[in-house]
A and B are shown apart, each in its own frame.
Chain A
Amino acid sequence: MSTPTTTDAEALIENLDRKGPMHHFHHALHKYPWISPGLVLLVAVIIFGLINHRFWAISNLSLITQQVSIVGAIAVAQTLVILTAGIDLSVGAVAVLASMVMAKTAAEQGVPGPLALLLGFAVGAAAGALNGFLITRLKLPPFIVTLGTLSIFMALTLIYATGRTINSDKMGDAAGILLWLGHPIQVGGFKITYGVVAMILLYVLFSWVLKNTAWGKHVYAVGDDPAAASLAGIRVNRVLFSVYLVGGIVLAIAGWIAIGRVGSASPTILPDANLESITAVVIGGTSLFGGRGTMFGTLIGAILVGVVSNGLVLAGLDQAYKVLAIGILVIVSVALDQWIRKVRS
């Protein structure tokens, strides 16, 4: 079967591949999928600054980090889910529900701050566990489950909050801890909040966990090929459930960041958080088909979305252009991902 001609042809093709700079670029992208959004981010920062110098002002850059902090934190949970080849449409709703529980138990039941916070985390974990249970036990597709729980959690939040916003002055003694992540710190001329630090710590933590723990490897393996993972002795359902559970807790932290950033808890904040988090993950080079991607990429993706929204406003363009730009970025990112996946040695 292996006649000399095929071997020659193979060698020829291999040589072609090896010599081209395109080949090296392809491989580099394959190994570090955050390179392309990183380049786009760099170009965007330069261009927006050239259009309007105020973009480069330290106060503006500080503002961007704060604008990114909530969706950035939500995107951590979304990355975990998408790495398992799932999707979570309920992320925003879970974060808002958790923040509402934190604020309302403190404001109306007089629950002490730390306990109110824990209650919020518990609600986030329970919401994640419900998603995980429906996906692993009832074997429903993540898209359908979270589409359903999106409505359920949104409705629960509205019913629980009776449609009202809880302002910081009503939170009593608990306001200190609930609003703590909104406190600014000065680093040079740069003004960031504890919320931004919290978001970055989430990225550092989960980046480390994904790279350095068996659980991290299993998350990738399950997203890559669940059948192969199962043959290798990984309990696929357990890993999936844990991802949604851990994601729920991360979302509660995002809800906490949101209280600090907005200064109140409202059932109607974060209307675009679901799609924006998916956008950040996809732009960051994580594959919607699971098994590949990095936390660092998502962070770049989230910042890129923040930079584009802020930059286009400063450039004097209508909000619609932001939506347009992000739509294009998403499609280009997914197309790029398809190409990257074709890599061969």
Chain B
Amino acid sequence: MSDLSSIQPVVQAKGLIKTFGRVVGLNSANLELYPGEVLAVIGDNGAGKSTLIKCISGAETPDSGQILIDNEEVSFKSSLDARAYGIETVYQTLAVAPALDIASNLYLGREKRKSGILGSVFRKLDHSGMRNTAKEQMTKLGIGTLQDMSQAVETLSGGQRQAVSVARAEAFGSKVVILDEPTAALGVRESNQVLKMIELMRDRGLPIILISHNMPQVFEVADRIHVQRLGSRAAVVTPKTHTMNDAVAIMTGALKVDEKDQALGPVRVPATA
């Protein structure tokens, strides 16, 4: 276990403050994400978990505080900035273009062009190249059942659509993949598929932040669980040391955790990608 202490966080948020008028979204919030782990973020409505995650994914800019990626301070003005750092987000709303095919959705906004004059002058897209990598990507995440990458996304089930989003995030998220309630719109079987994809990504060394309301899911896949309460971190627990009831008690304030115990170092030795 000695090598755990030498692990540096990939993403670190220090003392983030964000207010919306008179409403305090984040009140000096901290967060650490270590390499190769699944960090779940839980909290009651209004605890600031969404705001915290939006600050990291670039969708919101904190009023004060620091965000560090690999110990380097960054400031994101939009989610495009965060993407440039390899931070990708999957949303619960199944953010795909239904009429476009799977490959086009995977590469939406980041299309690959043909090499040579066709690509540089005529801007022709590399359809076959994108389809092939899309297929590889989907197979890698255990959804090889989808054969036809030129199939419109609207002909897919909700779970398959979310799989396309996750595959997109995995393909471009070199640093972190954030999943914001990825299973909220899905059924049980489809949720399990997404959870399996999360584990596959983690096993390949990609750190993941998972925001979820679903306690059993959180306790199933998370290595560490960040409990957000009233705009800041109330505790970090693990499925091994705490029960779901403990986590809920911390979330609601029934159980107080000492300030010095609110952080928790890495618990997983990252898989070598």
- Interface residues, chain A, CB within 8 Å of chain B? 1-2, 27, 30-31, 212-215, 217-218, 220-221, 224-225, 227-229, 231-234, 291-292, 341, 343-345
Residue of B96, B109, B123, B157 most packed against chain A (CB within 10 A) = B109
Known contacts A212-B124, A227-B93, A234-B108: does B100 contact A217 (CB below 8 Å)? yes
Q: Which of A218, A228, A234, A345 contacts B155 (CB 8 A)?
A: A345
Known contacts A232-B108, A344-B155: does B99 contact A220 (CB below 8 Å)? yes
A343→B124 CA distance, assembly (Å): 30
Q: Does B156 contact A (CB under 8 A)?
A: yes
Interface string of B94-115 (1 = CB under 8 A from A): 0111111000110011110100
Interface string of B21-56 (1 = CB under 8 A from A): 000000000000000000000000000000000000
- Interface residues, chain B, CB within 8 Å of chain A? 79-80, 83, 89, 91, 93, 95-100, 104-105, 108-111, 113, 122-125, 127, 151-152, 154-157, 168, 187-189
Please tell me if the beta carbons of B98 and A224 are within 8 angstroms of each other in the complex.
yes
Cβ–Cβ < 8 Å partners of B100 in chain A: 217, 220-221, 224
The smallest beta-carbon distance between B229 and chain A, in angstroms, is 28
A215→B91 CA distance, assembly (Å): 24
A233→B97 CA distance, assembly (Å): 12
Cβ–Cβ < 8 Å partners of A218 in chain B: 108-109
Known contacts A1-B188, A2-B188, A227-B93: does B124 contact A213 (CB below 8 Å)? yes
Residue of B91, B97, B108, B123 most packed against chain A (CB within 10 A) = B97
The smallest beta-carbon distance between A162 and chain B, in angstroms, is 44
User: Does more than half of chain B's interface fall in helix, strand or loop, or is it mixed?
Assistant: loop
A221-B100, A233-B110, A345-B157 provided; 15 other pairs, C-beta below 8 A?
A2-B188, A30-B152, A212-B125, A212-B127, A214-B123, A217-B104, A217-B111, A224-B100, A228-B97, A231-B79, A232-B95, A233-B79, A233-B83, A233-B108, A233-B109
A2→B83 CA distance, assembly (Å): 37
A283→B100 CA distance, assembly (Å): 21
The 10 closest A-B pairs by CB, nearest first: A233-B109, A214-B111, A221-B97, A345-B155, A232-B108, A228-B95, A224-B97, A232-B109, A291-B99, A231-B95
The smallest beta-carbon distance between B172 and chain A, in angstroms, is 10
Residue of B nearest to A6 (CB): B187
Cβ–Cβ < 8 Å partners of A228 in chain B: 93, 95-97
Residue of B nearest to A291 (CB): B99
The smallest beta-carbon distance between A326 and chain B, in angstroms, is 26
Cβ–Cβ < 8 Å partners of A343 in chain B: 154-155
Known contacts A2-B189, A217-B111: does B99 contact A233 (CB below 8 Å)? no
Cβ–Cβ < 8 Å partners of B152 in chain A: 30-31
Residue of A nearest to B168 (CB): A232
The smallest beta-carbon distance between A217 and chain B, in angstroms, is 5
A217→B110 CA distance, assembly (Å): 11
